Structure 1
Amino acid sequence: MTLSVLLLDDQLTTGWDEFVQANQGTGYLLSQWKDVIEGAFGHRSYYLACLNEDQKIVGVLPLVQQKSLIFGNFLTSIPFLNYGGLLTTSNESADALLEYAENLRKQLGCSHVELRMESAIDGQVNHINHDNCRTDKVTMLLELPEESDALWQAIGSKRRAQVKRPIREGAEFKVGSLELLDDFYKVFARNMRDLGTPVYSRRFFKEVLQRLRDNAYLAIVYIKEEPVGCGFLVRNNDRIEIPWASTNRDFNRFGVNMFLYWKILEHAIDQKAKIFDFGRSSKDAGTLKFKKQWGATQHQLYWYYLLPKNEKLPQINHQNSRFQLMINTWKKLPVAIANLIGPLVVKNIP
């Protein structure tokens, strides 16, 4: 079999997206996310397509380069998002893409390549060291019933009471797009500051809403016309994911989070979605309990790394003690200052 690897261009875009859809790849592998990330962050991306002798795409691997003095120089598939990595029809096409990616890593002087896979790479793929794989991440998936009443009964009386609590405070729920972006960002940015995490730019979310159109939308909870809870929803076929969500902690005593998620789940069922994806968590994260109470089940994720020989796996995350001082300092910043400098920092964190 003769295979070649090319970088995505305008001529390959239609075939790329058709390949992803036909092979049931995550929506994050679609070419529109290349435009989102380049438009919002200015990162250089390398979308690799493997072609057979008939010039048909038989594998894809999107890579984004992030380079900074603080966090280093590396390639990720795909940063900022939960899923990415390889999508191929054979081990041969996987090997061709991985060989190209490793050569690209060396050419660009990158420390590593990170592949955020939903499933394990076949053990027969040669250009991957299966010891260089993190399995501390999981995603929580909920199979949705056809009617919301079935889920309402399944969650039990305790959770139903928690959902009803904010209603007594006048809680209201809205779903929309760009017209709700300011309200979403107000809640999201405040919560990120409270957590000690640099916030994404408003432009990033605007890019997603504009480029994904009907497949990305916002959910907002209001109390007395004040936005107090928010979720960003992304749809791919029959699956709806909530990659970003926040609440204003001043209103947490009312159980805003429970009301927000119930209304989102109810909406997803009304939209005939089959699977609700609560997003990834670390296995030891407190958020796992929250997601399990809705009936979600845990699914293993696999983050593979292409590394120089004998190099340790990278640790660019909150557990790294190097970042604890930054986190504690960030929590003390005024929200306006955090919103100003946060996007400049977070663009280099995968």
Structure 2
Amino acid sequence: MIEITNHLDIKQWSEFVHSHSHGNIFQTPEIAEVYKRTKNYEPITLAAIDTKNDEILAVLQAVVIKEMSGFLGTFSARSIIQGGPLFIDGEKGIKALKILMEYYNKIARKKAIYTQLRNTWDTSAIYDVLNKMGYEYEEHLNFLMDLNCSKEILFSKLKRDKKRAIKKAKERGVKVVKEDKTALPIFYEILQETYDKAKLPLADISLFEAVFDILVPNNMANLYMAKYNNTYIAGRITLNYRNVIYDWFGCSSQDYLSMYPNELIVWHVLEEGIDNGYKVFDFGGAGKPDKEYGVRDFKKRFGGKPVNYGRYCKVHSPTKMKIAEKGFKLYKRIK
């Protein structure tokens, strides 16, 4: 018999994710704790258990994100499942997945306007399962960098403009350093500037404080900052799990873009990744293929492998969804 629980044994959960062929940081107990400590974030942690032997058959780590607290926050509430659900192979795994998602949907429709599954691998095998539950698939791109090579070979894969940008940044005296929590306020200030320019809402600083408290001590995250004349001009937070580095949050000061700090930080992370035995650098998404996206152009020039694992979306409240979409358009106009 399969039973759904939200009380997982941490050790058992951690081992399940770590040993899974598609295990990733976004389905771990550590990221759940980060979400738990973040303002306006609410984690949803569920697992399908075989009651005969207490074996985990499937795990789902979601997070409900609101842009503000209180009643108005319900009109921005969305649930994100990144890199999940994870389930065992075979018919038993598919059965567990169905039961798990049905249980999750009952919870999510009370907490979020919609759910988005952000795939980190090819999920075509479960397309029918999710589609029958009302999840619609949409294309979404990403780039993966192969770090299982020498730095010289990796550099040769970069497009000419990126090679030139990295060389110019070094010639102009830009340095990249790995920083501790004391640099977080400066990073967040630059990040706020970047998000304001893009007219996008930004997570509360408590998200990044939790990353330093939970992930950094376990070598699961790093903060890199670019400096010019002792001034911080750009930053990037990466997440690390097994043999993968995930590009998570990046930012740069508009006044120093001519110094090419973004290119230099990415290259520094790639070099360090090779030195430390990582195999893949995951650029963390590159938008929809049919829509222009400047960030995609930046990432593409590093010569990574393009993938289209896509996303699934299920709207739980069509009325609130329409209100939220109008509200976001107004937000962008005001910003």
Residue 95 of structure 2 corresponds to residue 98 of structure 1? no
Q: Is the 8 A contact 1:145 1:151 kept in 2?
A: no
Which of 262, 267, 270 is equivalent to 1:262?
Answer: 267
Residue 307 of structure 2 corresponds to residue 299 of structure 1? yes
Q: Is the 8 A contact 1:49 1:59 kept in 2?
A: yes
SS in 2 for 1:36: helix
Q: Which residues in structure 2 correspond to 1:277-292 (within 5 Å)?
A: 277-283=282-288, 284=291, 285-292=293-300
CA distance in 2, matches of 1:241, 1:176: 17
CA distance in 2, matches of 1:109, 1:256: 40
Residue 145 of structure 2 corresponds to residue 147 of structure 1? no
Q: Which residue of 1 aligns with 2:174?
A: 171
Residue 226 of structure 2 corresponds to residue 221 of structure 1? yes
Cα-to-partner distance string for 1:45-74 (whole Å, 9 max, x where unaligned):
331111112111110112334465255375
- When structure 1 is superposed on structure 2, of 173-182 and 233-242 the one drifting more is 173-182
1:113: how far off?
3.3
1:192: how far off?
1.7
CA distance in 1, matches of 2:108, 2:185: 38
Q: Which residue of 2 aligns with 1:36?
A: 34
Provide closer, same or farther for how the CA distance between residues 126 and 173 of structure 1 changes in structure 2, counting only shifts above 3 A.
closer
Between the aligned residues of both structures, percent identity stands at 19
Structure 1 length-normalised TM = 0.81
Q: Is the 8 A contact 1:94 1:125 kept in 2?
A: no
Residue 131 of structure 2 corresponds to residue 132 of structure 1? no
Provide closer, same or farther for how the CA distance between residues 92 and 209 of structure 1 changes in structure 2, counting only shifts above 3 A.
same
Q: Is the 8 A contact 1:74 1:105 kept in 2?
A: no
CA distance in 2, matches of 1:312, 1:281: 29
Q: Which residues in structure 2 correspond to 1:1-350 (within 5 Å)?
A: 2-9=1-8, 12-24=9-21, 25-41=23-39, 43-52=41-50, 53-66=52-65, 68-69=71-72, 72=75, 76-78=79-81, 83-89=82-88, 90-105=93-108, 108=110, 110-118=112-120, 119-120=122-123, 122-123=125-126, 126=129, 128-129=131-132, 132-155=135-158, 157-212=160-215, 213=217, 214-283=219-288, 284=291, 285-307=293-315, 320=325, 322-330=327-335
SS in 1 for 2:201: coil
Q: Is the 8 A contact 2:58 2:96 kept in 1?
A: yes
SS in 2 for 1:197: coil
Cα-to-partner distance string for 1:266-303 (whole Å, 9 max, x where unaligned):
22222221101111121231222221211112222333
Q: Is the 8 A contact 1:166 1:259 kept in 2?
A: yes
1:8 maps to amino acid: H
1:146 maps to amino acid: C
Cα-to-partner distance string for 1:165-221 (whole Å, 9 max, x where unaligned):
122332111013324323322321222222222332222111012201211011111
- Number of residue-to-residue matches in the alignment: 319
1:145: how far off?
3.9
Q: Is the 8 A contact 2:138 2:312 kept in 1?
A: no
Cα-to-partner distance string for 1:281-329 (whole Å, 9 max, x where unaligned):
21231222221211112222333244569x5995899xx5642331232
Q: Is the 8 A contact 2:245 2:280 kept in 1?
A: yes
Q: Is the 8 A contact 2:64 2:111 kept in 1?
A: no
SS in 1 for 2:311: strand
Q: Is the 8 A contact 1:217 1:232 kept in 2?
A: yes
1:34 maps to amino acid: A
2:197 maps to amino acid: D
CA distance in 1, matches of 2:168, 2:272: 19
1:137: how far off?
1.9
SS in 2 for 1:61: strand
1:115: how far off?
2.5
Cα-to-partner distance string for 1:52-99 (whole Å, 9 max, x where unaligned):
121111101123344652553756233xxxx23311111111011012
Runs (4+) of structure 1 exceeding 4 A deviation are: 123-128, 306-309, 311-317
CA distance in 1, matches of 2:333, 2:267: 32
Structure 2 length-normalised TM = 0.85
CA distance in 2, matches of 1:312, 1:140: 35
1:8: how far off?
2.5
CA distance in 1, matches of 2:316, 2:96: 22
Unaligned stretches of 5+ residues in structure 2: none
Provide closer, same or farther for how the CA distance between residues 261 and 272 of structure 1 changes in structure 2, counting only shifts above 3 A.
same
